[in-house]
Amino acid sequence: MRYKPDWPAAAERLTALWAGRHLGRPCIAVTARRDGGVPWPAPPATPEARWLDPAYILPELRAALGNTYWAGESIPSHLLMAGWVLSGGAVPQFAENTIWHTPRTFDYDAPPPFAYDPDDPWVRRFRSLYTAIAEEAGADGFHVGQPLGLPGSDLLAANLGTEEMLFACAAYPAWAAQAILQLQRAQVAAFRDCATIPQALGNTHWYGCAGWMPFWAPEVTLCTQSDVSCMLSPAMYETFVLPELTLLANELGWLWYHLDGADARQHLPRLLSLPFLRVLQYTPAPCEPPNGPAHLDFYRAVQAAGKIVHIQVPIAHVEPLVRALDPGLLYLDTYADTPADADALLYDAARWTKG
């Protein structure tokens, strides 16, 4: 791989992780800034260009990949938030650090209207950008990640607005459940459509979500979430979210799941019961301690269910987690100040690993 010559060794460790094993230490993705000599592009002219213009994104991609030291099981990757424009018809609005959507009004007495439209102007723009990135990668320059697309439940909130989406779930549950499944089927169609682009260029393996919390597995694994679930009861989660997860797994493969904040942790027992869920990643809410020793009981519960726990953690918290958790079901993601510090961390992690 162009940006990671030791990729075969990293893939071997990640394959062992997938089987619940470790090769002397847990998998640790550690990056550091390095002087790769790749110039950064000038700032984009508009927020929309920041997320969708290949003339800005490709130079930024080259700089981000080329000026990073990819150590351990890190995966050369760059955030491609443009997948949020695959929105089921909601019009995207662009800011410097995110993409959001303008809510629309729907007739709840009529069937939901959501479907994948390859001729939608936003879909065409995304495919054009995705194609440019796949061409930049070629067959083995770097893995081309799946689009960072929202799941059906979060897309319904994007189309209706969060408050109206919750109202629809309470007052028109059959309509809302059908709409969520329509939106998830549209995302499945979009993912399958996008998969043909790198495959045609010989880059046959999707590694997981493009840039945000990248995870590689030897089998197809889809990254998903339901951020709106923090406002749903367990019973409503069963009605509105579980069917979209089941659809996604049945259609595309194993699931990697992002659990967002303490209010969403009420759904942990149900998530851990799902046979198709292989990896769980947790992002603490701002009112909680950051990922690290404060959440050891949570991580242990995930591992006790036989799931891999994926943790983005400050480097100072790596040692206590390596010492306390099962290294065969642990994937840590961290950042070092220098390439030498990154290499030293991996050496030390082997000393800290139990068993």
Are 31 and 71 within 8 A, CB to CB?
Answer: yes
213 φ, ψ to 5°?
Answer: 55, 55
Cβ atoms of 210 and 83 closer than 8 Å: yes
Residue from 95, 42, 74, 90 nearest 343 by CA: 74
Percent of the chain at pLDDT > 90 equals 86
A 10 A CB-CB count for 111 gives: 11
CA–CA distance, 200 with 157 (Å, rounded to integer): 34
CB atoms within 10 A of CB 37: 8
Least confidently predicted of 48-57, 72-81, 83-92, 229-238: 72-81
Per the CB < 8 A criterion, the answer to whether 152 and 229 are in contact is no
With CA atoms as reference, report the closest residue to 262 among 291, 235, 224: 291
pLDDT, residue 136, reads 92
* 3-state secondary structure string across 255-266: EEEEEECHHHHH
* pLDDT recorded at residue 316: 97
What is the rounded distance in angstroms from the CA atom of residue 350 to the CA atom of residue 10?
Answer: 15
| Arithmetic mean of pLDDT, 106-127 | 96
Residue 210: what pLDDT? 66
The conformation of residue 150, written as its DSSP 8-state character, comes to P
Element (H, E) at 13: helix 7-18
148-157 residues labelled b (16+ CB within 10 A) or e (exposed): bbbbbbbbbb
Nearest to 257 by CA among 238, 280, 276: 280
H or E segment to which residue 100 belongs: strand 99-102
**313-335 pLDDT, tens digit each:** 999 999 999 999 999 999 999 99
List pLDDT tens digits, range 167-201.
999 999 999 999 999 999 999 999 999 888 988 88
pLDDT of residue 220: 87
This prediction has a pTM of 0.95
pLDDT digits (tens, 9 = 90+) for 263-307: 999 999 999 999 999 999 999 999 999 999 999 999 999 999 999
The whole-number average pLDDT for the span 254-260 is 95
Residue 207 has pLDDT above 80, yes or no: no
Q: Which of 124, 113, 125 is nearest to 89 (CA)?
A: 113
E strand or H helix at 334: strand 330-336
In CATH, which of 3.30.750.80, 3.40.50.720, 2.40.50.140, 3.20.20.210 is domain 7-352?
3.20.20.210
Burial classification of residue 202, based on how many CB atoms lie within 10 Å of its CB (0-12 exposed, 13-18 middle, 19 or more buried): exposed
Average pLDDT of the residues in 217-221: 90
Determine the Cα–Cα distance for residues 313 and 340; give it in Å rounded to an integer.
19
Residue 206: pLDDT band (50, 70, 90) is: low
- More confident of the two residues 204 and 113: 113
The domain ranges of the chain are 7-352
